[in-house]
A and B are shown apart, each in its own frame.
Chain A
Amino acid sequence: MPVIETAEGPAWRLRTPRGRLLLWLGWFALVALTVWCWQVMTKDTIWAFVADAPSQAADIGARAFPPRWSYVEKLWLPLWDTLNIATLGTMLGVIIATPVAFLAARNTTPSAMVARPVALFIIVASRSINSLIWALLLVSILGPGLLAGIIAIALRSIGFVGKLLYEAIEETDATQIEAIEATGASPPQVLIYGYWPQIAPAFWGISVFRWDINIRESAVLGLVGAGGLGLQLQASLNVLAWPQVTMILIVILATVVFSEWVSARVRHAII
C-alpha cells in the first residue's frame, strides 16, 4: 500500500499513481470499445421501428389476452413429444458422454497425447453449439421429426455431461482405486468397484440437471422443425394466432416449473 508524504503527514492510498492511471485507462478503453460496438451495431437500425415498439407491444398484448384455453386439448400430444425428446435425448447423450468423460479425465485416460485432446475437443465442440443449431442441421439431414430433436439434444448434452463428469472423475480418491487394484481386480472391476461408487452421486445429479435444461430446450426445438411444442408455437406464430401463442407459452412455463421441481427434489434426495 503506497504512502504519499504530504504537508499534513503521510497519507495512504489503495493504489500507486501508476496503478490508478492504468485502471482509469482500462475503464476508458472499455467504455470506448462499448460505444464503438454500439455504433457499429446500430448502423442499420431503423429507429422509427424502435420508437414504434411500445404501441406494437400494446397491440400484441391486446391480441394475446385472454389466452385460448380450449387450445390446450391439442397440446397434450406435442407436450408428450417434448418430454420424450428431452428424456430420450438426455439418455442418449449420457450414454455417449460417459466414455468420453473417462477418456478426458487425467487419471483414467489411456493416452494423454491422443485420446485426451480428442475427447476435450468433442466436449468443447458440443458445448459451443446450441441444440437449436444442431437441430437445424439434423432437420436438413434427417428430415423434420422427433428423431432430429432427440439427436440434437443428445449432441448438445455430451459436452455438458462430459465436462462435469470428467471433473468429478479427476476428483476421485486415488487410495480407494489403489485398494481395489491391489486385490487383483481387472480394469472393468476397478471401474465398477473403484470409480463408480465415487462418481455415482455426481453422475445422477448431472444427468437430472441436464434433463431439466433439456426440457427447456426441447420446448423450442420445434421452431426449426424438430417436433414438440415448438412446432405448434411456430404454426401459431405464422398465422398470428396470438391467443394460442399465449396458451403455448403458459404450457411451456408450467412444464419448466414442474421439471425444475422434479430435478430439485431428485438432487436433494441424492446428494
Chain B
Amino acid sequence: MSETVYHRHWRRPPTMIRDRRVRYALYLGIVLYLVLAIGSVDVNWVRVWEGFDRGWRFVLGFLQPDFTSRWRDISQGLVESLTMTMTATVAGVIISVPIGIGAARNLAPRPVYYACRAIIALSRSLQEIIIAILLVAMFGFGPFAGFLTLSFATIGFLSKLLAEDIEDIDEAQAEAIRSTGASWFQLVNYAVQPQVMPRLIGLVLYRFDINFRESAVIGIVGAGGIGATLNTAIDRYEYDSAGAILLIIIGIVMVAEYSSSHIRKWVQ
C-alpha cells in the first residue's frame, strides 16, 4: 500500500520577473544605486540637531496657531489668493474650451488639431512656478502675474482632459444629429455638449481646487496671494502664524474638495 506524500511547504512563485539571474541583477542594481545616491546626500548633522529645536517650535505653532496677531496680512493674502483662483479658473475655462474642441481628433481638421495639441503640450510641460517667475519678470509683482500663471496652467490641464472626453463620446448620437443636416456648431451644441458637460463641470471644480493650492505656492516667487504671507512668516520664524496659514489652506482645500464632490454628484 503506497502512501501519498504531501508537501508540507509551499513557496510562492515570483510574481514580477521569472528569470532568477535578471532578478538578482536588478536587486544588485537597486542596492548599488541606493548606496551611491545616499552617499551623495551631504548632511550637516550638527545643523540638523540644532534644527530639531526649531522643528519642535513649528509643531507647537501648528498645535497652537496664532490667527490674530498677523490677521491683517493673512486676510489680505487670502483675499488675493481666492480672487486670483476664481478669475484664473473662469478665464482658463473660457480659453480652454475652444482649444479643447480644437484638440479633439473627431471634431477638428488636422492643422487645427496639431496647433491645439502644441499649445497643450507647451502649457503642460512647464511648471507653474517657472511660468510665475517669467511672468513676474514681465508683468511686475502682484496677483496679476499670478492670475496669468494660473490661467495658463489651467489651459493645459482642462483642454487636454476635455479633448480626451470629446474623443470618447458616443458616436451614434453625433451621427444622429449629423443626419438631420445640422451644421458644425449645431453638432457641437446638440451632440457633444450634452455628453461632456457633466464631466467638464467636474473637471472645472477640480481645477479650481488645484488653482487654489497652486496660488499658495506662486506667492513665494512674488506672484501675490497667501504664499507671500506664508513665506514672510517662515522667514521671520513666526511659526505660530505659519501654522495658522497652513491650517487655513488645509481647511479651504477640504471644504472645496467636499463641496465639489457634492456638486459633481448633483450634476450627474
Residues of B within 8 A of A132 (CB): 129, 217, 220
Residues of A within 8 A of B37 (CB): 84, 87-88
Residues of A within 8 A of B125 (CB): 253, 256-257
Residues of A within 8 A of B27 (CB): none
Q: How many Å lie between the Cα of A247 and that of B234 in the bound state? A: 31
Q: How many Å lie between the Cα of A127 and that of B144 in the bound state? A: 26
Residues of B within 8 A of A237 (CB): 133
Q: How many Å lie between the Cα of A216 and that of B214 in the bound state? A: 14
Residues of A within 8 A of B54 (CB): 140-141
Residue ranges of A at the interface with B (Cβ–Cβ < 8 Å): 30, 33-34, 37-38, 40-42, 44-46, 49-50, 53, 56-57, 60, 80-81, 84, 87-88, 124-125, 127-130, 132-133, 136-137, 140-143, 145-147, 150, 193, 197, 200, 216-217, 219-220, 223-224, 233, 237, 249, 252-253, 256-257
Partner of B144, one of A45, A60, A80, A130: A45
- Extra inter-chain contacts (15) besides given A33-B86, A42-B144, A129-B250, CB under 8 Å: A34-B90, A41-B84, A45-B142, A50-B140, A53-B138, A56-B138, A129-B216, A129-B246, A130-B213, A137-B234, A140-B234, A145-B41, A146-B43, A147-B41, A220-B130
Partner of A49, one of B126, B139, B235, B253: B139
- Chain B min CB distance to A120 (Å): 10
Any A CB within 8 A of the CB of B82: yes
Known A81-B40, A132-B129, A220-B129: A137·B58 in contact at CB below 8 Å: yes
Contact with A along B139-175 (1 / 0, CB 8 A): 1101110010000000000000000000000000000
Is A200 in contact with B87, judged by CB distance below 8 angstroms? no
Residues of B within 8 A of A41 (CB): 80, 83-84, 87, 143-144, 147
Q: How many Å lie between the Cα of A224 and that of B133 in the bound state? A: 13
- B46-87 with Cβ < 8 A to chain A: 47-48, 51-52, 54-55, 58, 79-80, 82-84, 86-87
> 8 A–B contact pairs at CB < 8 A?
A50-B139, A53-B139, A128-B250, A128-B254, A137-B58, A220-B129, A220-B130, A224-B220
Q: How many Å lie between the Cα of A225 and that of B90 in the bound state? A: 34
Is B44 in contact with A143, judged by CB distance below 8 angstroms? yes
- Chain A min CB distance to B88 (Å): 9
- Chain A min CB distance to B47 (Å): 4
Any A CB within 8 A of the CB of B231: yes
Residues of B within 8 A of A57 (CB): 138
- Chain B min CB distance to A155 (Å): 12
Residues of B within 8 A of A33 (CB): 86
Residue among A41, A49, A124, A146 facing the most chain B CB atoms (10 A cut-off): A41
Any A CB within 8 A of the CB of B101: no
Residues of B within 8 A of A80 (CB): 40
Any A CB within 8 A of the CB of B127: yes
Residues of B within 8 A of A84 (CB): 37, 40-41
Q: Which 10 A-B pairs have the closest CB atoms?
A: A49-B140, A128-B253, A37-B83, A143-B47, A41-B83, A37-B86, A141-B55, A84-B37, A53-B138, A130-B217
Residues of B within 8 A of A49 (CB): 139-140
Q: How many A-B residue pairs lie within 8 Å, measured between CB atoms?
A: 139
Is B234 in contact with A45, judged by CB distance below 8 angstroms? no
Is A145 in contact with B44, judged by CB distance below 8 angstroms? yes
Is B48 in contact with A143, judged by CB distance below 8 angstroms? yes
Residues of A within 8 A of B116 (CB): none
Is B87 in contact with A129, judged by CB distance below 8 angstroms? no
Closest residue of B by beta carbon distance from A132:
B217
- Chain B min CB distance to A20 (Å): 16
